[in-house]
Amino acid sequence: MTLAEEDSVPQGSLRIPGGLFVVFEGIDGTGKSTQLLLLAEKLRQLGYAVVATCEPTNGPYGRMIRELFVDRDTVSREEELELFIADRKQHVQEVITPALSEGSAVICDRYYLSTIAYQGANGMDPELILEKNENFPIPDLAIILEIEPAQGIHRIQNQRNEHPNTFEKEANLQKVAKIFASMQQDYIMRINGSDSIENVHRRVFEAVAKVLAQKTTQPGDG
Ligand code: ADP
Ligand code: TYD
């Protein structure tokens, strides 16, 4: 089966050996949620079983994290890190690992690179953050969408009609963006998020299709 044969494939019938794990990363307002929805729709049209998810989750730890957005100073930075790790542990156990085992494409809005960037910008040791994340599944592809922090804030305020939360102040986002820019993992792909939604989607899909082709080609094929 190739991507070109998409029209005849019923949704959800194609399984990927070991699943496909794609995460969207980047500062706030880069277009992660927008691109996640477009990618999920595209993969479903191609016939894949897709699980679209996000962190922080809507579970108990995720809800506690969202309360921090109102006032970050109610917990220490160590406690803040522990909340993100507890949320991820539950997310991995209950959603991500089972979906990958079933051969689904799991697409997640934020994952552990966000913890390295945001809790790192908040003064936590990057080595300690990595250590706390080392037992979680490694993504097949992490797409970091890049825009200027001021543009991200502008999008949040003017297009989403929201007020930036305490994580979204420009000086903080500058620090976060710098950490994202320094990451070297070989599964990272950087895409300019200030291009049009359609152009960003095209690049995202090109990158995903490449990884998918590698995953679905069995040794000995071709
Ligand atoms: P994130 O999930 O990264 O915070 P969103 O996907 O919610 O970002 O996008 C933030 C806002 O910017 C939304 O109103 C969205 O419609 C808009 N947006 C997303 N991508 C683009 C783009 N490439 N060009 C212009 N506006 C965009
Ligand atoms: P999110 O809801 O994705 O915000 P947005 O749609 O504006 O990008 O994420 C909420 C906030 O949580 C975001 O400011 C980044 C922060 N965050 C961390 O600080 N550490 C983490 O590990 C994760 C997953 C998110």
Ligand 2 centroid–CA 176 distance in Å is 11
CA–CA distance, 111 with 200 (Å, rounded to integer): 20
Q: What is the 3-state secondary structure (H, E, C) of the chain?
A: CCHHHHHHCCCCCECCCCCEEEEEECCCCCCHHHHHHHHHHHHHHCCECEEEEECCCCCHHHHHHHHHHHCHHHCCHHHHHHHHHHHHHHHHHHHHHHHHHCCCEEEEECCHHHHHHHHHHCCCCHHHHHHHHCCCCCCCEEEEEECCHHHHHHHHHHCCCCCCCCCCCHHHHHHHHHHHHHCCCCCEEEEECCCCHHHHHHHHHHHHHHHHHHHHCCCCCC
Q: Is the pLDDT of residue 7 over 60?
A: no
Give all domains of the chain, ordered by start, each with its CATH number.
5-216 (3.40.50.300)
Per-residue CA distances from 73 to 65, 70, 119, 128 (Å): 12, 9, 14, 21
Q: In the structure, what pLDDT confidence band is assigned to residue 1 with cuts at 50, 70 and 90?
A: very low
Ligand 2 contacts (CB < 6 A) are 28, 32-33, 55-56, 84, 109-110, 114-115, 118-119, 167-168
pLDDT averaged over the chain? 91
Q: Which two tokens stand for residue 181?
A: 């820019």
**How confident is the model over 70-125, as pLDDT tens digits?**
777 789 999 999 999 999 999 999 999 999 999 999 999 999 999 999 999 999 99
Residue carrying structure tokens 């729709």: 41
The residue whose two tokens read 């070989």 is 186
Q: Which two tokens stand for residue 113?
A: 């690179």
34 lines ligand 1 (CB under 6 A): yes
* Of 190, 192, 182, residue with least CA distance to 151: 192
| Mean pLDDT score, 16-21 | 97
Instruction: Let me know if 186 is exposed, middle or buried by CB neighbors in 10 A (0-12, 13-18, 19+).
Output: exposed
Rg over CA atoms, the chain: 18
| Separation of CA 186 and ligand 2 centre (Å) | 23
Structure tokens, 14: 């194609």
Q: What is the pLDDT of residues 168-219, one digit of tens each?
A: 788 999 999 999 999 999 999 999 999 999 999 999 999 999 999 998 886 6
In angstroms, the first-to-last Cα distance of the chain is: 13
- Which tens digits make up the pLDDT trace of 116-139? 999 999 999 989 999 999 999 999
| Distance between Cα 73 and ligand 1 center (Å) | 28
From ligand 2's centre to the CA of 86, what distance in Å?
15
Q: Is the CB of 160 under 6 A from ligand 1?
A: yes
Tell me if 159 CB under 6 Å of ligand 1.
yes
For residue 155, which ligand has an atom nearest its CA?
Answer: 1
Closest ligand to the CA of 203: 1
**Residue among 27, 55, 155 to mutate when testing ligand 1 (max atoms within 8 A of CB):** 155
Handedness of CA 84, 89, 94, 99 (dihedral sign): positive
